[in-house]
Amino acid sequence: MTSTGIRDRVAIVGMGCTPFGEHWTKSIDDLLIDAVTECVSSSGTRLDDIDAFWIGTKDSGQSGMTLSRPLKLDHKPVTRVENFCATGSETLRNACYAVASGAYDSAMAVGVEKLKDSGLSGLVVGAPPNDGTEPDLTPPAMFSLLAPAYAARYGLDDEQMKDVLTRIAWKNHANGAKNPLAQFRKPVSLQDIRESPLVAGMLGVYDCSGVADGAAAALVVRAEDAYRYTDRPMFVKALGLASGPADGAMRSDYDYTTFPEVVRSAQDAYRQAGIDDPRSQISMAEVHDCFTPTELVLMEDLGFSGRGEAWQDVLDGSFDLDGDLPVNPDGGLKSFGHPIGASGLRMQYEMWLQFRGEAGERQLDAPALGLTHNLGGQPGACVSFVSIVGAEPTPA
Amino acid sequence: MQGLLSHGIYVPHYRLQLAETRAALGAGPASGSRAVASHDQDSTCLGYEAARRATARAAVTPAGVAFATSSPVYADRTNATAIHAALDLPRAGEALDLGSTPRAAFGALRAAARSPEPALAVLADQRDGLAGSPDELLSGDGGAAFVFGEGEPVAEVLADASVTQEFLDRWRAPGEPVTASWDERFGAEVYGPLVDEVVRLALERAGIEQPDHVVVSSPHRRAAAAARRRLGDGAPTWIDREVGYTGAADLGLRLADVLERARAGETILVVSAADGADALVLGVRRAAGGTSGTPAGHTTDISYTTFLTWRGRLERERPRRPDPDRPAAPPSSRNVRWKFGFVGSACEACGAVHLPPQRVCLACHEVDRMQDRAMRDARGRISTYTVDRLAPSLDPPTVDVVVDFEGGGRFSCQLTEGDAQAVRIGDAVEMTFRRVFAYRGVHNYFWKAKPVLEAQTT
């Protein structure tokens, strides 16, 4: 992979994020208006002055009019994007490249998803008319395949594996309890997590992220213009994306203990950002903890832990809020649920707050570089996005 | 020599013990069982499993399929085409349904026996009745299949005969699960002379006086019992004790059972008493092979409530998950060898096996250098699995497995007939043709893995 990257050429100068949760009284339009309005006001600009928009949603709308209609945008270019559960990150990636190209002075990335109105449990993956032969696993079943494979490869017994997964859910709920925007804002005991009813494989209810509604937005401008909008802009260091050949369920050498797509997107992002030791150079990470074993495997695929070592790092508390590399300081998908189009931007929102010193009880000590990771698909067949953002531009 | 070249039977994995129904209903027989199709099987699936066994033993490729059932899945659409496709038979040739009565079984046998080209008769049924009725408790589900053609036959057809009479004995509106019947004594009166007449005709034509074996099949229990007494087919078999009367398949199961015991030079008289009477006289030429019956430990008993749930007679609460999409006709047609025949592809350049078939090789990326690779008889091992408690199913929880096949190829699919508690990485599995779901009248057929049980029945 040979992306040149756009290190420090664009910056985020405003953000908005709604509370995530069961918004029975708010529509898709309401959520969009709330997120965009907060984003615009945080950047001290006017909606009319923004040149272009990217709106991401998997199922809550089609076309750019998903955004232009509720906000009455005046014939601006608006593109709807979709990239499975990485949709929110995809909006930001497109907006950043649009500004970096020089085509626009400013662009807004917006993501929204309203899941609760369907009345269904969990996510639903739609498909074009087909021959009815695709495996029909529910999302927890897809990701539950990671747990026994990881345990077998690295010699953990079921009890140890359950302890590791439980520890991840416990940590993310503890962080979410400190976040006023989270869907679940209460700590959950290790015992309650461990004993929750089984959903798929060894995954219990508390090993799964919730189902929520939400929206988030980010305003992107050229880096040299950033300080005209805010005195604390967030600089984009790297945007890595890898779409896999989706052959894990077809080739016998795939063992369900890794996401090759994550490894590749991370390598790309690290090269763009000039990172060679992510564990020590990155101050904080928001990762796609759709299910607890996903976060475990991500720690290794992102290079935070060596192969077969993430489970010990998890148990040691390395990724806790007070660990050496806090992961999901905002509570993650575990505490926020996963309104698909919004999640990738919600991750950026935590970076934004942390760099600005506005993260309240969760505030980390002077973070310099942050990583966000968004995943769409399933083990063996997914798209993976990794961004690196920073509080300061790199000295020339 | 023209004749019966091979046979195959299929009795589904599950049993409903009549002691269980007696406990549930407070009445009925205290011993014996009936065979029950899995929740993901219908008459077409049962017929295919018998047909795959029969065709595997025959040296010829059938040019025609005649499928008899009294429980057809579709009307106004041929069911035999799905069996034809699952066997991956060549396009040239016919596939037709005979139905919807048990008598159709004899028609399918005779059509195949008389065919100038190699032909396959498939007999399969799923039988139901009102709760606690003999039709429910003494019936069963199963399939049998027979290949006829030129070769070294197991048996020659020496003669056949038929007589027909219009009378009201048993009847059922299309689509209804339950059969009504007239006073059993009336039917017994009518069937007696019909059977005698057809037997006399058939034996005359065959030029024999006393057959060595007699097979009697009839939906009319009293008439069947009387005919067996008169003709000397008296002893109950494992089919009576364990499987039950399987409608259109019954004649085939009983014939197969006798074929596997008969010796060269013996004769078999096959009698069907259903809306008239039909008879076939076979001269056995060689050992048929196969062992009827079910090895101990190869069946699973289910509860009466599970039986009712699988039959759609007890509607259970479902998870809050979406209804499935019915399979679309054009992609199902484009991919017919994959969907129905489980035919994948293998790269001519590097040998990598692809399930489903691909145009671009996953290993060497060569484009359009693929050969077909039939995988339906391949065995594999479970490389990982999960138990999905959220997926809607008539038999929750769903077990999903990743299978690595001997000789290459990986596929992820559901495991059927497996025990969610007992499934383990490394277990041996084989593929089976199932109705994954039915939605808005469309039956979605595809392949699932099932545990390999050694010494399978024929």
A152/A147 Cα distance (integer angstroms): 9
What class, spelled out in words, does domain B378-458 have in CATH?
mainly beta
Q: What is the pLDDT of residues A224-261, one digit of tens each?
A: 999 999 999 999 999 999 999 999 999 999 999 999 99
Q: Which of A243, A274, A273 is nearest to A259 (CA)?
A: A243
Q: Do A200 and B389 touch (CB under 8 A)?
A: yes
Tell me how close the Cα of A46 comes to any Cα of chain B, in angstroms: 42
A191/A237 Cα distance (integer angstroms): 40
Do B3-310 and B378-458 agree at the fold level? no
What residue segments make up the domains of chain B, in order of their start? 3-310, 342-375, 378-458
Q: Does A274 touch chain B (CB under 8 A)?
A: no
Q: Does B385 touch chain A (CB under 8 A)?
A: yes
Q: What is the mean pLDDT of residues A343-364?
A: 98
Least CA distance to B392: which residue of chain A? A138
CB A222 within 8 A of CB A9: yes
Distances (CA, A) of B226 to B213, B220, B239, B242: 16, 10, 18, 21
Mean pLDDT of chain A: 96
Q: Which of residues 152-191 of A touch B (CB under 8 A)?
A: 152
pLDDT value, residue A376:
97
User: Which residues of A form the catalytic set?
Assistant: 85, 338
Q: What is the pLDDT of residues A157-192, one digit of tens each?
A: 999 999 999 999 999 999 999 999 999 999 999 999
pLDDT value, residue A395:
77
pLDDT value, residue A135:
86
Q: B386: which chain A residues are within 8 Å (Cβ-Cβ)? A: 137, 141, 144-145, 148, 200-201
Beta bridge partners of B327: none
pLDDT value, residue A119:
85
Q: Do A200 and B404 touch (CB under 8 A)?
A: no
Q: Does B398 touch chain A (CB under 8 A)?
A: yes
pLDDT value, residue B457:
42
pLDDT value, residue B223:
96
What class, spelled out in words, does domain B3-310 have in CATH?
alpha beta
Burial A95-107 (b: 16+ CB within 10 A, else e): bbbbbbeeebebb
Q: How many CB atoms lie within 10 A of CB A315?
A: 13
Is residue A222 pLDDT above 80, yes or no? yes
Ranges of beta strands (E only) in A156-268 are 198-200, 203-204, 214-222, 234-243
Intervals of chain B under pLDDT 70: 291-297, 454-458
CB B56 within 8 A of CB B10: no
Q: B438: which chain A residues are within 8 Å (Cβ-Cβ)? A: none
pLDDT value, residue A1:
52
Q: Do A199 and B408 touch (CB under 8 A)?
A: no
pLDDT value, residue B310:
97
pLDDT value, residue A136:
85
Q: Which of B253, B235, B234, B232 is nearest to B244 (CA)?
A: B253
